Amino acid sequence: MPTICKVWFEHHKDRTIGIGVGRPRISWRFGGYDTGWVQHCYEIEVTREGGEVETHSKYSDISSLVPWPSSPLASGEKCAIRVRAWNQGSSDRTQWSDTATVEAGLLSHEDWKCSLIEPEDPYVRGPPHRPVVFRGEIALQKVFTSARLYITAHGLYAARINGTLIGDHVLAPGWTSYNHRLVYQTFDVTDVMKVGCNTIDVDVGEGWYCGRIGFLGGRNNIYGQSIGLIAQLIIRNEDGTKICTGTDDSWEWAYGPIIASGLYDGEHYDARQKISSETVWCTSRCLPLTDNLAAPEGPPVRRVMTIPPKQVIKSPSGKTILDFGQNIVGWVQATIHGPAGANIIFQYAEVLEDGECCIRPLRYAKAQDRLTLSSEETLVWEPQFTYHGFRYVQIDGSLGPIQKDDFKGVVIHSDMERLGHFHCSNELLNQLHQNIVWSLRGNFVSIPTDCPQRDERLGWTGDINIFSDTANYLYDTAGMISQWLEDLALEQGEQGTGIVPLVIPNVIEGFEKDAHAIWGDVAIMLPWSLYIAYGDSSILTRQYSSMKAWLASIPRKADNLWNYTSTWKLGDWLDPAAPPEDVGNGRTDPTLVADCFLVHVTSLMAAISTIIGAQEDARQYAKSASELHTVFSKEYITENGRLVADSQTALALAICFSLFQSEDQLKHAARRLSSIVIQSSRFKIATGFAGTPYITHALSDTGNENLAYRMLLHRKRPSWLYPITMGATTMWERWDAILPDGKVNHEGEMTSFNHYALGAVGNWMHRVILGLRPLEPGWRRFKIAPVPGGDLQWAEGSHVTSYGECYVKWAVKPSPSANAYQRFTISVRIPPNTSADVHLPGKKEVEFVQSGTYTWETDFMPDTWPPRAEESRFVHADDEL
Ligand code: BGC
């Protein structure tokens, strides 16, 4: 009998306190792999706050996002849930799950009784804004049973009650489109409050709210002129009474030890200025709350792990540099002592050049923390309101010899549940996969960003659009990304044109006038990707107007294809053939790229409208998609199937988006693509942002898996493994961000060493090497169709779905029975309440299986490895594996 090993609410996988809806949907996951287990009926036991117990039973096979069965939760109301389920065709049932609790946040604006407080004018007016400490005193007379803190800030905050740090969040409240929605957090502070006088100290720094954001110097005060705090405490007394108190004119503020703190430039902490009895406190200014407070939909940013430095380096110029051995995102924690007034500067860098920290790729971000000591006392210190992307930290200043053990690299990211894994017999591929995972971690910091180190760290829409399928397999992105998509819809709405700004939150001016394919197509493709990964159709319903508005905003020619008039076209961004200073100017016509995506998203709209029940729209979009197919063909494809743009990207997009009109045309295109890959590209990558997610799929979908493997395993630039051979530990923005001579590629601006976009190939590793992919949204039914190839002896991986973990491991070895054949063995695990179609290599028949553990063996004839360019006398040294 399986167990119910996890119960959760909406997309919140951790402690559910302060949920923003009164009727949260419930999901449960099964543990164990009983054969053929299908849920037939479930029972949900709901224990309301007053102690009343309700049981709700239903004949249903649905175990994911089940509607709330009880009356809605009131603001602040807590409820306990247990679930059990019955197997189809038997009276066997699971044990009750462990109890999961859910507590509503403040569900209405009227529940907020406090004010916004700011430091009184004229003392604190940035930019830059020096962080301040707000202090409130709360006297409690009665014995209380619970205390909750609801808190957010104009800026970033860290709260302490009676000296105890509250919660484990960092960079709270996170970044949202603040003018529309400012997220607040809810904390259970019962254990840190006491009867008597309580002191709340809240540090607030400028953060995204009024700090400097954006490239070319950026902008300050984007959302407001001042940092500020909003905090409310609700205390329930034993006698049934309730106290509600919060930020008001009794709160004071003072400067604390943080002298400066900016997201890009870093933090300066002066321990001599710690809050003390000498501190001068000033009155705060009170302002009414605006109606934009919202509960979070995704997990907070947390310190997720710490890593020790691998070595301490002395650079050629005599600098002391910590090498963490891994490019990470977060900051350094130092245990330090030295004379009062001593200054220590931490300069963060992702790479070394000629043995020294290379900071040019950071552009206008200083990425420097500074610590001023107060006494000989040992201080354990880390910054509060900044973060950096780094592998190396140069330490300058008045310190004695550096002890490696006195430093830690603190890794932060939005604390999503890890869902997917991949391993295989090729260590370079394993490293590539690791690098993809690290770049995901480093760029899922409250919003999905492009990079974590330079003067951007922005929610570039195109980047997450091409990476989302990979991300959704590796981590549960549902909450965080749907929250970001909600902001996207709001900021798109603000434009009034339907055009999706290039970055969300939209903080760079002037980039929302022109529509851009791929970047704007995120409005349709990303909700779809989430729906397929997690099966939540409500995301389609919620984003539907945004999708429609985007499609309607695309400027068209008379034939309805793109009228891409913008002078700046992103196209197949970062095509390795594009000039370094003009990376949108690749070898594939940007309008053709845009049109491929146009046909694709129009077809998606037909499917989406059908799913959400908008039948008339569905008919219109299907008609429009079919007409676009025809005009695309007329414009770009010859009768035989030749595509006017003869590039990896163009062919890959046209194949993956089914743009050819006949099987013959498709075969012609597949032949042409393989010939380009073999003869012109010599198995190297020749795609940018647009083509990279599709090129290997286009090859394997048309019977050229061997070529896809050959490209994936190529080690010379441009290729996915070239950076690995150069020591990369995260994905690079540019295929050759470091040149073969070890120098940073200084020709262009785009040399981030932590950009997940080109890691979109992870999706091919999961879907084709492991062969795992959903057949129904949310993995209720899925496919296992591994394609062995390259020099791989085995591959293993898993994906934790809402139902349980899908697992696959395959291996090949020479077949004992037949010459040249290989014996393929596979073990799989299918979680309860799901089923899978299993395809074995070289076999036409499909095995249909329900939950359970299975193994199969078969012989198959592998492709010749490695494939070679036909005219071997022209083989280039780069062709060698
Ligand atoms: C970002 C990219 C982004 C691009 C588009 C860059 O600066 O880092 O990843 O998509 O701009 O213009």
Residue 90 has a pLDDT of 73
Inform me whether the pLDDT recorded for 352 exceeds 90: yes
Q: Which domains does the chain have, with CATH numbers?
A: 3-104 (2.60.40.10), 112-294 (2.60.120.260), 305-414 (2.60.120.260), 420-770 (1.50.10.10), 772-860 (2.60.420.10)
Mean pLDDT of 454-483: 97
Residue 549, ligand 1, Cβ within 6 A:
no
Q: Using alpha carbons only, give the angle 59, 62, 64 rounded to the nearest 5 degrees.
A: 145
Residue 502 has a pLDDT of 96
Residue 603 has a pLDDT of 98
Query: What is the atom index within ligand 1 of the atom nearest the CA of 519?
Result: 10
Residue nearest to atom 3 of ligand 1 (CA): 460
Residue 463, ligand 1, Cβ within 6 A:
yes
To test the pocket of ligand 1, the residue of 750, 756, 758 to mutate (highest count of ligand atoms within 8 Å of its CB) is 750
530-to-191, 467, 477, 480, 689 alpha-carbon distances in Å: 38, 12, 8, 11, 20
Residue 570, ligand 1, Cβ within 6 A:
yes
Q: Separation of 717 CA from ligand 1 center, angstroms? A: 21
Q: How confident is the model at residue 633 (pLDDT cuts 50, 70, 90)?
A: very high
365-to-207, 286, 390, 514, 746 alpha-carbon distances in Å: 14, 33, 13, 27, 17
Please state, in angstroms and rounded to a whole number, the distance separating the CA atoms of residues 483 and 495: 19
Nearest residue to 514 via CA among 590, 599, 454: 590
Residue 462, ligand 1, Cβ within 6 A:
yes
Mean pLDDT of 37-48: 97
Q: Separation of 608 CA from ligand 1 center, angstroms? A: 28
* pLDDT one-digit tens code per residue, 133-168: 999 999 999 999 999 999 999 999 999 999 999 999
Inform me whether the pLDDT recorded for 79 exceeds 90: yes
Residue nearest to atom 4 of ligand 1 (CA): 460
557-to-37, 554, 560, 564 alpha-carbon distances in Å: 54, 10, 5, 9
Q: Separation of 573 CA from ligand 1 center, angstroms? A: 8
Query: What is the atom index within ligand 1 of the atom nearest the CA of 733?
Result: 9
Q: Separation of 461 CA from ligand 1 center, angstroms? A: 9
Q: How confident is the model at residue 856 (pLDDT cuts 50, 70, 90)?
A: very high
To test the pocket of ligand 1, the residue of 213, 511, 573, 574 to mutate (highest count of ligand atoms within 8 Å of its CB) is 573
Residue nearest to atom 11 of ligand 1 (CA): 460
Residue 876 has a pLDDT of 63
Query: What is the atom index within ligand 1 of the atom nearest the CA of 755?
Result: 9
* pTM for the structure as a whole: 0.97
Residue 451, ligand 1, Cβ within 6 A:
yes
Q: How confident is the model at residue 819 (pLDDT cuts 50, 70, 90)?
A: confident
Inform me whether the pLDDT recorded for 881 exceeds 90: no
Q: Separation of 275 CA from ligand 1 center, angstroms? A: 42
Please state, in angstroms and rounded to a whole number, the distance separating the CA atoms of residues 772 and 779: 10
Inform me whether the pLDDT recorded for 89 exceeds 60: yes
Residue 879, ligand 1, Cβ within 6 A:
no
Mean pLDDT of 718-722: 97
Q: How confident is the model at residue 875 (pLDDT cuts 50, 70, 90)?
A: low
301-to-154, 169, 259, 480 alpha-carbon distances in Å: 17, 6, 24, 10
Residue 870 has a pLDDT of 64
* pLDDT one-digit tens code per residue, 226-257: 999 999 999 999 999 999 999 999 999 999 99
Query: What is the atom index within ligand 1 of the atom nearest the CA of 584?
Result: 12
* pLDDT one-digit tens code per residue, 172-208: 999 999 999 999 999 999 999 999 999 999 999 999 9
Mean pLDDT of 846-860: 96
Helices (H), 216-280: none
To test the pocket of ligand 1, the residue of 455, 460, 750 to mutate (highest count of ligand atoms within 8 Å of its CB) is 460
Residue 568 has a pLDDT of 81
Residue 571, ligand 1, Cβ within 6 A:
no
Residue 810 has a pLDDT of 98
Please state, in angstroms and rounded to a whole number, the distance separating the CA atoms of residues 154 and 167: 19
Name the percent of the chain lying above pLDDT 90: 89
Residue nearest to atom 8 of ligand 1 (CA): 450
Q: How confident is the model at residue 92 (pLDDT cuts 50, 70, 90)?
A: confident
Mean pLDDT of 113-136: 86
Inform me whether the pLDDT recorded for 48 exceeds 70: yes
Residue 547, ligand 1, Cβ within 6 A:
no
Residue 782, ligand 1, Cβ within 6 A:
no
* pLDDT one-digit tens code per residue, 504-545: 999 998 877 899 999 999 999 999 999 999 999 999 999 999
Mean pLDDT value across the chain: 95
Residue 758, ligand 1, Cβ within 6 A:
no
Q: Separation of 432 CA from ligand 1 center, angstroms? A: 22
Residue 193 has a pLDDT of 98
Q: What are phi and psi of 543, to 5 degrees?
A: -90, 0
Mean pLDDT of 411-427: 98
To test the pocket of ligand 1, the residue of 364, 449, 456, 458 to mutate (highest count of ligand atoms within 8 Å of its CB) is 456
Residue 476, ligand 1, Cβ within 6 A:
no
Q: Separation of 329 CA from ligand 1 center, angstroms? A: 19
Q: Separation of 323 CA from ligand 1 center, angstroms? A: 28
The one-letter amino acid at 673: L
Residue 118, ligand 1, Cβ within 6 A:
no
Q: What are the catalytic residues?
A: 456, 733
Q: Separation of 570 CA from ligand 1 center, angstroms? A: 9
Nearest residue to 815 via CA among 867, 769, 770, 861: 861
Q: How confident is the model at residue 367 (pLDDT cuts 50, 70, 90)?
A: very high
Please state, in angstroms and rounded to a whole number, the distance separating the CA atoms of residues 302 and 618: 42
Residue 569 has a pLDDT of 84
Residue 459 has a pLDDT of 98
User: Is 797 in contact with 420 (CB distance < 8 Å)?
Assistant: yes
User: Is 719 in contact with 696 (CB distance < 8 Å)?
Assistant: no
To test the pocket of ligand 1, the residue of 213, 450, 754 to mutate (highest count of ligand atoms within 8 Å of its CB) is 450
Residue 295, ligand 1, Cβ within 6 A:
no
Residue 456, ligand 1, Cβ within 6 A:
yes
Residue nearest to atom 12 of ligand 1 (CA): 570
Inform me whether the pLDDT recorded for 170 exceeds 70: yes
Phi-psi region of 644 (alpha: psi -120 to 50; beta: other; left: phi over 0): alpha
Residue 628 has a pLDDT of 98
CA dihedral for 9, 11, 14, 15, sign (positive or negative): negative
Residue 124 has a pLDDT of 56
Q: Separation of 460 CA from ligand 1 center, angstroms? A: 6
Q: Give me the residues paired with residue 80 across strands.
A: 47, 101
* pLDDT one-digit tens code per residue, 209-220: 999 999 989 999
Inform me whether the pLDDT recorded for 339 exceeds 90: no
Residue 455, ligand 1, Cβ within 6 A:
no
Residue 575, ligand 1, Cβ within 6 A:
no
346-to-264, 265, 321, 329, 399 alpha-carbon distances in Å: 14, 11, 9, 15, 12
Residue 460, ligand 1, Cβ within 6 A:
yes
Helices (H), 400-456: 427-443
